[in-house]
Amino acid sequence: MATPLLVSYDPASPSSGLSLKQIAYFGRVLVKVSSLAQAEDFLKRNFRLLDVYVDATAITSTGDLVDILNAGAAKIFISLNQLTALSQEQSVPSSRLVVYAAESQVDAFKTWVGESTEHKDAGLSTDSSAVKAIAEKLGMNLEAQNLYRTYTSIPTEETLKDTLAQGGVSVVSADALTFEHKEPNGKIVAASLIAARAVADQSNGLYATTVTDERGTCLGLVWSNDESIAEALRTGTGVYQSRKRGLWYKGQSSGDVQELIRVGFDCDSDCLVFVVNQIGRGFCHLGTASCFGPYNGLARLQKTLQARKADAPAGSYTARLFNEPKLTQAKIMEEADELCRANTKEEIAFEAADLLYFALTRCVAAGVSLEDVERNLDLKSLKVKRRKGDAKGPWAEKAGLAESKPAPEPAKPAEPAPKADEPMQMTRVVTASTPENVVQDYLKRPSQKSNDAIVALVRPIIDDVRKNGDAGVLKYTHKFEKATSLTSPVLSAPFPPELMKLSPETQEAIDVSISNIAKFHSAQKDSNEGLKVETMPGVVCSRFSRPIERVGLYIPGGTAVLPSTAMMLGVPAMVAGCKKLVFASPPRADGSISPEIVYVAHKVGAESIVLAGGAQAVAAMAYGTESVSKVDKILGPGNQFVTAAKMLVANDTSAGVSIDMPAGPSEVLVIADKDANPAFVASDLLSQAEHGVDSQVILIAIDLNEEQLQAIEKEVDVQAKALPRVDIVKGSLAHSVTFVVRDLEEAMALSNDYAPEHLILQIQNAEAAVEKVQNAGSVFIGQWTPESVGDYSAGVNHSLLTATYGYAKQYSGVNLGSFLKHITSSNLTADGLLGLSRTVEQLAAVEGLDAHKRAVSIRVAHMKKQQA
């Protein structure tokens, strides 16, 4: 078991006390993170070193909490509110959770524990000094090290020892500890805290100590005391207390030294455990690996192979295996095949031994140890998300499990997010010195999940909602949004005033924006007479518009509240004259909707708000439920799941619903020349980068020199690090690009090829350059037109939905016409029909459609009969 200390460590700033390597001697560390990306990065770099506990109280997404556990966190520290949401996830074992609770909240935690036997495995962290009393109240076994004490100020050594004496685990900052036991300089000597928990032998006052290797094999039994523990931690080596020679630095004379890996205890603290990496012949004075004899099995094979690698005779079989990777690969494949063909117990054991030999040879050749392999196995055991586990491609085909399918094109490797102390920059590409095919690769959007995978997840949700109505919607709202208190999936108008309470400033901003959006979209209306053309004498063709009667408007949730999207969809629908407006937006965990969205729904006359997001909201509006009104068209942006659901229902003829267009992550392309203000350029890039880690921003720099490019890059770095959503920006910038081009013509060609959702022109004579724009969702002209004004209040529509695949080449953004149908009419006089009859009859005859021809000829014959 670990020591009764949990050292907290800040990854963003170096510790003035213990380093991370020193903390590893305790076997575990607690790190506080602000994002999933930060947690995953720390876990990836350090899981081999020690067990990582993550303080995840700053993480708002339940999905991110699950992902942190899945990435290898041994435990996560969470709040009671997070616990309520996370306990709905059946894949998360309570033994991986530690809940922060003040003394006044212990009863609430106790109630939760009492709900399930499995809940008893959860840990508790408290700042109360009454550790033992709390444990007794909860019926908690302190030997399981599940009760942690935090401190509101730097604790004294006496305070820490009091917690240890009560059986609790003290959470201590690395800055407060030291291994320098002779000159602690005001810090707490960590070794004294370990010794405070150790139970000494009654006969000699020393601590019994078991020494093991990293794989848990016992190397020998020794004694320790306070001084030897302190020296072992200070030097990072095996140091013990000999009953004959005093302080014993293992290997000091023989050279068989030990590297300290970690220090721990047995279950009742009467035996210390030193885990070491043994150097030289072995632990025993007789030269064997342990005092109990040589290694056997895999450990013995590893030692043999490591020795052979260092000194294998040239040309020997072992030397060939180390030096000829293809030979090793062939032998592994051969032995794996023979193992698969083995039948009897003896045959399987024999072939498995051969396979393990060649597999371990491959590992040793690459510098990989059994300890590395086992640590990876431990990491896999921490997964809380399970893969389906099917065999891959050719192996499945060979075993007769599946038909051969072409391998999917490999995804572009993800760019690593920059470290906290590194400048946040976009990749720079100079087109004049870069091959065209490479430039085209950089123009590609970040890869998304395959459509087949998304559809496979979305289709069952749509089918469930279609079949079970309100119950289906509520099921997924409870599951995904954690809004378990909701009993109805709909909030109907008139909306209660208390649900749309806003500050005067926010209400005024929304009112001004709605007014401007209404003005711009009202100007898009057709004239009352519509279009009327006489194509030939007596033949009048006309076109007129009518509003779509019932529209569903999807307002995303996700990482930001988006009342602006509610305005961009609701106001044009109101101006168009749609009779029924149905909003849909994911509720918060308490079942409520953002008051800004409710206020917009009220202003535009919405009939209701569907309290759901994702595929379940789309399905509810497409098919209707007991409470949700069926609509004729669904509009609005969303993630990949929303887009897939919209496309599925649009392709279902029984749904009778259309959609606006495919959607994707936000993006912006800025074209800047030497006159552009670097601060303005950076702010425009970051305004879209903060939407999500899958957003992409592009800068096309026209003939800028190194100094001018660095000025923009510096502004991006400084402004980005000042943003609250800096971690999201990091992820976006990791796959964003600056293209350095020769002139405006090349810049516009690149832009039109990319077809951005938002295009910003920060160049001389920007207005004149608009005529060169062929493909873009919306254009922002000149230095005084940031994209933000289009997002909120200028009047143009920000619901462009053109990202991900460059759909600006084919689609327009949402406009008044998105909410209208255009109907055509024909009105012919008798002379008009006579003048057109021969043309129609001839074309009908060519197509072999006699009934079409007769519809004209009967009328012409009738007219001639009346004239006779």
Which of the residues are catalytic? 757-758
Phi, psi of 158, rounded to the nearest 5 degrees: -65, -40
Residue 434 CB burial class (10 angstroms; 0-12, 13-18, ≥19): middle
Residues 611/616/617/618 CA torsion (nearest 10 deg): 180
Task: For 307-339, give the DSSP string.
Answer: HHHHSPPTT-HHHHHHH-HHHHHHHHHHHHHHH
**8 Å CB contact between 204 and 243:** yes
Residue 734 corresponds to which amino acid? Answer: A
Strands 207-212 and 218-224: antiparallel
Residue 419 corresponds to which amino acid? Answer: K
Reading the block at residue 222, the tokens are: 């020794």
- The C-alpha atoms of residue 276 and residue 296 are separated, in whole angstroms, by 18
Neighbours of 90 (CB within 10 A): 7
CA angle, residues 348, 353, 359, in degrees to nearest 5: 120
Reading the block at residue 235, the tokens are: 């030097």
**Spatial strand order in the sheet of 550-554:** 490-492, 608-610, 580-584, 550-554, 633-635, 658-659
DSSP E strand stretches across 431-520? 490-492
Residue 185 corresponds to which amino acid? Answer: N
Nearest to 759 by CA among 778, 740, 733, 746: 778
Residue bearing tokens 């770099």: 45
In the three-class reduction of DSSP (H, G, I as helix; E, B as strand; rest coil), residue 839 is classed as helix
Reading the block at residue 858, the tokens are: 């009967």
For residue 803, give the DSSP letter: T
Tell me: cis bond preceding 418? Omega within 30 of 0 counts: no
CA angle, residues 429, 435, 439, in degrees to nearest 5: 45
Please name every residue paired with 564 in a beta bridge, in sequence order, or none if there are none: none
Taking CB atoms within 8 Å and a gap of at least 24, the contacts of 354-361 are: 356/298, 356/301, 357/301, 358/321, 358/328, 358/331, 358/332, 359/332, 360/298, 360/301, 360/302, 360/305, 361/305, 361/318, 361/321, 361/322, 361/328
Half-sphere exposure of 12 (CA within 13 A, CB side): 8
Q: Provide the b/e sequence for 18-29 (b: ≥16 CB within 10 Å).
A: bebebbbbbbbb
Please name every residue paired with 274 in a beta bridge, in sequence order, or none if there are none: 211, 263
In the three-class reduction of DSSP (H, G, I as helix; E, B as strand; rest coil), residue 533 is classed as strand
In the three-class reduction of DSSP (H, G, I as helix; E, B as strand; rest coil), residue 182 is classed as coil
In the three-class reduction of DSSP (H, G, I as helix; E, B as strand; rest coil), residue 46 is classed as helix
- The C-alpha atoms of residue 419 and residue 402 are separated, in whole angstroms, by 43
Reading the block at residue 164, the tokens are: 């240890």
Report the interhelical angle of 563-576 vs 504-522 (nearest 10°): 40
Separation in Å, CA 251 to CA 237, 246, 279, 280, 281? 10, 14, 9, 9, 10
Residue 81 CB burial class (10 angstroms; 0-12, 13-18, ≥19): exposed
Nearest to 94 by CA among 126, 72, 117: 117
Reading the block at residue 302, the tokens are: 């590893």
